[in-house]
Amino acid sequence: MKPLLLTLGLLSLAACGIDGEPVKPTAGASVNIGTNGITTSAGVGVRKGPISIGIGL
């Protein structure tokens, strides 16, 4: 849990621009229906140029 909170904190700082030029956060969610039932997934991250950092929840 601690690494997740640390990573979310760093992403928040990067998104607000406190450490330089702000970058836009990204988010996504999906719902899948298959033979194993219904599954959901979500993710958040930041993208700047060719570099993208994200976390799946």
Mean pLDDT by 10 residues, the chain (57 residues): 77 66 80 90 83 80
* Percent helix / strand / coil, the chain, rounded to 5: 25, 50, 25
Tokens found for residue 54: 């994200």
pLDDT of residue 56: 83
Q: Residue 37's pLDDT is what?
A: 92
pTM here is 0.47
pLDDT of residue 38: 93
Q: How many CA atoms lie within 13 A of 21 on its CB side?
A: 4
